[in-house]
Amino acid sequence: MEFKSVSGYKSTTFLGQDQVSKKKMEFNERIFEPLNEDDFNIVALDIFHFQFERNEIYRKYICVLKVDPGNIIHYSQIPFLPVSFFKTHLVVSGAFLPEKIFLSSGTTGIERSQHHIVDLSVYNESLVKGFEGFYGSLEWITVFALTPDQLQNPDSSLIYMIEKWIMRSKSEVSGFYLNRQEILAKALKEQESSGKPFLLIGLSYALLDFAEKFPMDLKHAIIIETGGMKGKRREMIREELHAFLSARFNCGEIHSEYGMTELLSQAYSKKNGNFNAPSWMKVMIRDTNDPFCLLPDGKTGGINIIDLANYNSCSFIALQDLGKINHDGSFQVLGRFDFSDLRGCNLMVD
């Protein structure tokens, strides 16, 4: 079977343009409302049928699997598109000129994933509501970022997200501080003294560098790390990284963010690497020997993600990460299938 490459677009004609626009408006209204299990199933099935009609690559993949969409009555039966397709094919639902193309960080010589975004307002809503659902209003949180800014890395979905957080914050000192560590140290000490809420988010290696140079008390901070070293420093397991940062900053738990170029939603861990997702995002675990078999809670396997916000591309993605779902509904990320293709935002920093 041949697939169309990412270099071109090809339309599908199952739905008229007015019908497509109406569908998208419905999705945007429904996905960010509180969703119980039945609500999630209804919306997920609706998006699945929409993407089967509109997404050429996804439809061909389903046909190769000989899956009849009419027989699918629960989201757990929906086929998941391997995330690697974003590196080699155009994964979009319909024909459009993208507002933005996000690229994965990748390594030298490795093809980067492309996520073509038709409507940035959907991502804007997801990245704000997702964060605020776990941490409260961004308006009252000062955001300090140890990452490149948009000028240094305009293709990163992570940097785009952080910039939107900074813009939403009402604090004048919110901003990017990767190359301004002395200024950041002073600002953090002042923020800590004020007792007001603030966030320090950074690439793991950048947080380590800063913690080594500027140990300080950050007992009132939310500190979020976003990934591994990716060649910048010695790889550390999450427990080792968090223990070091917690000791240097004399704080409690170090938090983590779990997201990627191919998704429009994020999960967050506040403690012990246990992640929770917003209501429009669902995590399932597949058998490593049978990718079409889902595993029960507590079993380790490949991570499948349903991201309803991804209705303009593909909402059903099989990731290359290994993980398991805890009995309380949270999930853990335990490794990768193929470590030769390192994913992570730290490669954005030269």
What pLDDT digit, counting tens, does each position of 17-28 carry? 677 888 888 999
pLDDT of residue 109: 55
CA angle 251, 253, 258 (to 5 degrees): 130
306 backbone dihedrals φ, ψ, rounded to 5°:
-105, 120
308 backbone dihedrals φ, ψ, rounded to 5°:
-60, -25
Residue 24: C-alpha distances to residues 51, 148, 185 (Å): 11, 33, 45
pLDDT of residue 348: 38
pLDDT of residue 214: 97
pLDDT of residue 347: 38
Q: Which token pair is 324?
A: 């398991």
pLDDT of residue 107: 56
**What is the residue type of 126?**
S
pLDDT of residue 22: 86
Intervals of the chain under pLDDT 70: 1-17, 106-109, 228-235, 338-350
Q: Which token pair is 294?
A: 């889902």
Task: Tell me if 22 sits within 8 A of 50, measured CB to CB.
Answer: no
> Which DSSP letter does residue 78 get?
S
- Prediction pTM value: 0.89
Report the helix count and the strand count for the chain, using DSSP H and E.
9, 14
